[in-house]
Structure 1
């Protein structure tokens, strides 16, 4: 089977995006219906604070939706929707918006303040990245040990330990 990995990624992306759009549409419809029938509040807050989530969903749709040729062959599987890094943070914004909308519906207007967790977390990540780069480290990486090199690590295999003892891997040029 040709391009099995691409086809499975395309199926997973399509499933993830369809599920996400269904949940988002359902939550927004329930929120609006609940607001119209039972609890009145600020529509401006709803629009301003749910707009980033909707823009991010549109971006993820463009990024991850698989494309097909006219004959039905897979042209591009799209980017991996479970990728680490920025994609992961974009999903966090979408999920946080869902949670805050649910809390606003149940607890009231004060719950919109919980949405400030998203920019606060983004600021924390930016600050830690800046500090890591300033110190010459990648975020989350431990500092390099000071002093002479230590004995081979305990997690190494016997073959790696022997190779390390002999001076590492030898490369022979002809």
Structure 2
């Protein structure tokens, strides 16, 4: 019963890594088979350049999440959770998008490589919207004598009457 969560994480990681490696192998094999037989026009330079990040991410995930065992067969380290939020989730998105893109290149041809620009475009969009939201949030906090933003009709009426009054009883 000891380390039940760690053992289940190790089993889950091992299965998911095996599945990921098999899917990657199949998709890359199909691409290369088409490239060297039926569709010789597919760009090998773009394939190497645009598949390298996904292969590096897969290697990193392998190193990060593969469980290690002691010589007697007991679990030494379960590995990191592959279902974690944040950066791990983003790495899965890049891996999935690379798989989708390779399939689209095989089906549609070299013009489908342009779809790979969706990932950096989305990253730039997310960074800009986050920065502008942060700027707007911090702009309202500054007490540098300027207006804090547009006033409501009620606030304008209160100012005309001479401000808010406090009634003491």
Same fold (TM over 0.5): yes
Deviation, 1:135, is 5.0
State whether structure 2 residue 32 is matched by structure 1 residue 28: no
Deviations 1:2-32 (A, max 9, x none): 1111110111111111100010011101110
In the aligned structure 1, how far is the partner of 2:85 from the partner of 2:133? Answer: 18
Deviation, 1:120, is 1.2
| Counterpart in the other structure of 2:114 | 113
In the aligned structure 2, how far is the partner of 1:80 from the partner of 1:62? Answer: 12
What's the secondary structure of 1:75's corresponding residue? Answer: strand
In the aligned structure 2, how far is the partner of 1:82 from the partner of 1:128? Answer: 26
| Counterpart in the other structure of 1:46 | 47
Deviates more, 1:118-127 or 1:60-69: 118-127
Misfit runs of 4+, over 2 Å: 124-137
In the aligned structure 1, how far is the partner of 2:129 from the partner of 2:5? Answer: 35
In the aligned structure 2, how far is the partner of 1:50 from the partner of 1:105? Answer: 14
Deviation, 1:124, is 2.3
In the aligned structure 1, how far is the partner of 2:132 from the partner of 2:65? Answer: 32
State whether structure 2 residue 131 is matched by structure 1 residue 130: yes
Mind listing any 5+ residue stretches in structure 1 that lack a counterpart? 138-174
In the aligned structure 2, how far is the partner of 1:134 from the partner of 1:78? Answer: 38
* Within-5 A mapping of 1:9-158: 9-40=9-40, 41-134=42-135
Q: Quick check: which has more Rg, 1 or 2?
A: 2
Mind listing any 5+ residue stretches in structure 2 that lack a counterpart? 139-169
In the aligned structure 2, how far is the partner of 1:94 from the partner of 1:4? Answer: 30
In the aligned structure 2, how far is the partner of 1:132 from the partner of 1:69? Answer: 49
Deviation, 1:136, is 5.6
- What's the TM-score, normalizing by structure 2? 0.76
- What's the TM-score, normalizing by structure 1? 0.74
When the two structures are aligned, how many residues end up with a matched partner? 137
